[in-house]
Amino acid sequence: MASRRLSLTRPRASSRPPANGEAIRKQSYRGAPVTLTDLRDDEEWEPTSDEPNLTLDEVREAIAGWEDELKAKNRVLSGRTIVVVHSLPYVCTLHPTTKSHTTLFDHSVLPTPTDELPPLFPTGERASTPLAPGDPLLRPNPLHFPPPNRAPSPTHPVARKPNPITSFTAPGSSLSPSSHPPCPPSRAPSPDTAALAKAERGPQLHRWVLHPRRGHAALNSGLKSLSAKPLVVVGRPDDLVKEDVHISQAELGDEEKKDLEKGLKKMSEEGEGMGCIPVWLDDKVHTAFYEGMCKTFLWPIFHYLALPDSIDKKQETAAWEAYYETNLVYAKKVAETYQEGDLIWIHDYHLLLVPKMLRELLPDANPYISLFLHCPFPSSEYFRNLPRREALLDGMLGCNLVVFQTHSYARHFLSSCVRVMGYEAGHGGVDAKGSITRVAYCPIGIDVDNVERDRKAPGVEPKIEALRRLYKDKKIIVGRDKLDPTKGVLPKLLAFEKFLSDYPEWEGKVVLIQVTSPSPGDSPALATKVSELVDQINAAHGTLEFQPVHHYHQTVERDEYFALLTVADLALITSTRDGMNTTSMEYIMCQAEARGSIIVSEFTGVAATLNKAVKVNPWDLGGVARAIDQCLKMPMSERILRHGVLYQNTVSQTAAVWAATNILKLLESLQGEQATQNTPPLQVDSLLAKYRAANKRLLLFDYDGTLTPIVKNPSDALPSQLLLDSLKTITSDPKNVVYIISGRDGDFLEEHLGHIENLGMSAEHGCFIKAPGSKKWISLTDDLNMDWKRDVLQIFRYYEARTQGAFVEKKISSVTFHYRNADPVFGLFQAKECQAMLESMQESLPIDVLVGKKNVEVRPAHTNKGEIVQRLLYLHHETEFCMCAGDDKTDEDMFHSMARVSSSTSSGSPPTISPPNSLRLFPSLAAELPPDAYGDDPNGELQPVESKLDPNCMYMIAIEKDGQARMTMANALLPTAEEMVSLLAKMAESP
């Protein structure tokens, strides 16, 4: 499968609209037919994806293919997905009852005729309410303040009651039950009543009714599309309703909680379909978590807003502790639910620490974890303002895969990992201490089928006709946003005022209908500014008969909402920062007949998907005004072409495709050698037992970081007396062959370890070799033409001159470009460019290009550590016990060579070791070959050999600081170099 390649390069910049408004006016009246090539491609703010647009069936087919391939490689897959969300996307309504029901949810969606309570889902379709003369949408004067509660419609199933006044409204609790429209037949609610009817349970004292929460349609649609296989949703039930009033978890009795939890858990145990597992969290902790770290720190920074000046350290610490505690509660709940082979899909910025916590709670399970971030991810310069930035990034890097809405957000994340953490980014992911976290992007879509059905509902058409009569001969611009600073309502109003001033011919002919949906985080100050600005515009450009701005600060019913989107001539979206905007996609669906235009802010994630929308900078008021004029004058031919592309993008990238693609990308991320298992701690007693039992042993060690601690000055990394004594004892045992394989030069190794007679050594990554018991160093460079160094040095000097802080190091056998002191992002960019150029020369030059820690090194071909290990395994194929230890990225080559030998064995047969290329390329190594190495033909090819190694006696030990488990080809872990030396001392004491 193709994968999206991410880089840290910036996408192509967009050209700005011309300053001359007359040029746009002339362009708007083109007489010639418009084609797609006429639409300006320079408005692309995101690079074009090289992946094909797959249908839902094609994505599911690809998922099945990847699952088969993984299972063929003995990877365990259970077929179940655990979705972890901060809040369950359902409203849970409690009704007391004296009747006994066979299940928790059966008969609660459709009560029997004897039930006094009216059903919340009477038929699956809601009776439509025509526009009455007093309906707010028909009022000639705009409303720009929160209106009083409207009387419930006589056809509405539940009468509205005001929410209780509290000091803090839980997230998602601002909507009363009546503001959630009943679920149409194709929009499945959380409970699977058919599955629940199979369960044999005792009588229930309480009856719970669930239906989707408003604002979560895309997520619900995505989850529903995954429910063909077992699916478990873990989250906190935030929208709790009792007697038509929202309540907190603290107000819920124990029996009521048990009824809800038992029923939801029973659903998840049915083996198919979708079930939920609630997370019960103390309301005070949740308030500190949500209002503290989430809304005071993370949400502002992720949306490029400054942190409040009033924050002190005590407040920040309390917010962080609540955030950590909450994430731990979720992680423990997921760990309790987890079964081997489950896929874990975590959502949004509320739970960034959960991935790493799951790794720690499930150290032996190697869970497959993906994180999807619904909100924007800021640039590294803004992200680094967070006081707990390192812990947040480390938490995210506990995933196998991190997915964002757009390429830009993914690029910002990579940049933050490089700049803040000092990690290396490349190959589609981040290398965090040997653990590879893949990074991708996949924009969310909408439930196209539901939108198509809802916009054609019987109640929509009467409202459409009423609105058209009311605004006859007027151009309608529609906007629908939450009233928060990032949605750009103020810039939108200012731009509309600028439009009326610069284009007076439109006065009296255009109306802006702006709907701002109430939310718990509404800003009174912002509401006041919006109200004042609406009055100002209407006073300056309105009359007694007509006002150009109609503002409604209320939650409109779906019939009204889709009627507005259908009659509009233009949708105006001016978010200053937004993860994704589904209103724009719903507008495109509603404009299937009229082909209305749409303007989107370049700072919203949807701008990348809707590549033929007119894009604007919301802060450029003149540019937005010109764009409004351009769209209102746009000829039908151009509108048809633009809408055709936008419509196709919308219906192909649905919420179901988004959900399936995320699962597909997670499975893809598990492929390859880097998708390895967590390294468990070394079982020392088991190793020593196998060491004693072996008749022939091969012991291979890196030096810096493995036998001695990493120090600031490399010349100070001297071997301890315990290490020297242990090496002398071990090398004196005829059963042992011991090598130090280091990047150090031969002079250093000879000075400090040369007196140990039977110790073999390899210097400069294998370019110089000294066999055990020998006094002579073999230089492989004597067999090679080293003229390539001149060309490589010239390339390195070119990049050195253009990268401030970089320098070039020359050795006898290699040349290295170091960028540790350069800007981390620009240095990495230059190193990648240099690496690409060098790799293109590998066909003509006998070189290997090695990417190390903040450096690019070029060495003779076949002289890396992995080649040395393969050669030693080949020459000592009678070995029964092999141990290899290292701490660096370059040591992964050694582990890879050993892993290849281990994987070459099949059931009942010994491993086979192929002859290494170095024995054929370097004549100076021929003396090491046994007489029968070429078989019966002395002039023939080297033959593979059978090894006596049992894979259970192959130890690849990674030395990792602080003993943190990491993902690597190693199969065991030791925390420090001192622990490694201690192990050698125990081996020296063994008989």
Residues with catalytic annotation? 702
Q: C-alpha angle with apex 540: 538 to 544, nearest 5 degrees?
A: 55
CB 439 within 8 A of CB 414: yes
Q: Could you count the other beta carbons within 10 Å of the beta carbon of residue 956? A: 26
And the tokens for 913?
């070791």
Phi/psi class of residue 825: alpha, beta or left (left: φ > 0; alpha: ψ in -120 to 50)?
alpha
Instruction: Tell me which H or E stretch contains 921.
Output: helix 917-921
CA distance 967 to 436: 7
Q: C-alpha angle with apex 374: 369 to 376, nearest 5 degrees?
A: 115
Please report, for residues 377, 430, 678, 790, 902, the alpha-carbon distance to residue 439 in angstroms, rounded to integers and kept in the order given.
Answer: 13, 7, 19, 37, 30
Q: For residue 240, list its beta bridge partners.
A: 92, 247
Amino acid at 978: E
CB 948 within 8 A of CB 879: yes
Which residue in 348, 346, 365, 329 sits closest to 232, CA to CA?
346
Which residue in 676, 677, 664, 68 sits closest to 372, CA to CA?
664
CA distance 640 to 595: 6
Which residue in 76, 88, 94, 91 sits closest to 268, CA to CA?
88
What does 249-305 look like in DSSP terms, one character per residue? Answer: GGGS-HHHHHHHHHHHHHHHTSSSSEEEEE----HHHHHIIIIIIIIIIIHHHHTT-
First to last CA, the chain: 53
Residue 782 exposed, middle or buried by CB count within 10 Å (0-12, 13-18, 19+): exposed
3-state secondary structure (DSSP) of residue 760: strand
CB 544 within 8 A of CB 506: no
Which residue in 385, 369, 370 sits closest to 302, CA to CA?
385
Please report, for residues 760, 761, 770, 928, 939, the alpha-carbon distance to residue 924 in angstroms, rounded to integers and kept in the order given.
Answer: 16, 16, 12, 9, 17
3-state secondary structure (DSSP) of residue 985: helix
Q: C-alpha angle with apex 645: 644 to 650, nearest 5 degrees?
A: 100
Q: How many CA atoms are closer than 13 Å to the CA of 423, on its beta-carbon side?
A: 22
